[in-house]
Amino acid sequence: MPTNWKVLMVVITVSLVASVVIGSYRLVSTPVELFGANFEGLPKSEFPREQP
């Protein structure tokens, strides 16, 4: 039984490291700046008013 836990922990660790590497690569390779000099703010979100 302990061998199964060790294998499971290795699989989880490898998956976590792979997801961090993929996410970092995608973030670094994004051609457009998310918050650059022309950033004008996020669109304003209006919540609907309750009708009496």
| pLDDT for the residue 29 | 82
Q: Hey, what are 43's tokens?
A: 């669109």
* pLDDT tens digit sequence for 9-52: 999 999 999 999 999 998 888 766 666 666 666 666 676 666 65
CA dist., res. 8 & res. 2, Å (int): 10
| pLDDT for the residue 35 | 64
Give pTM, 2 decimals.
0.55
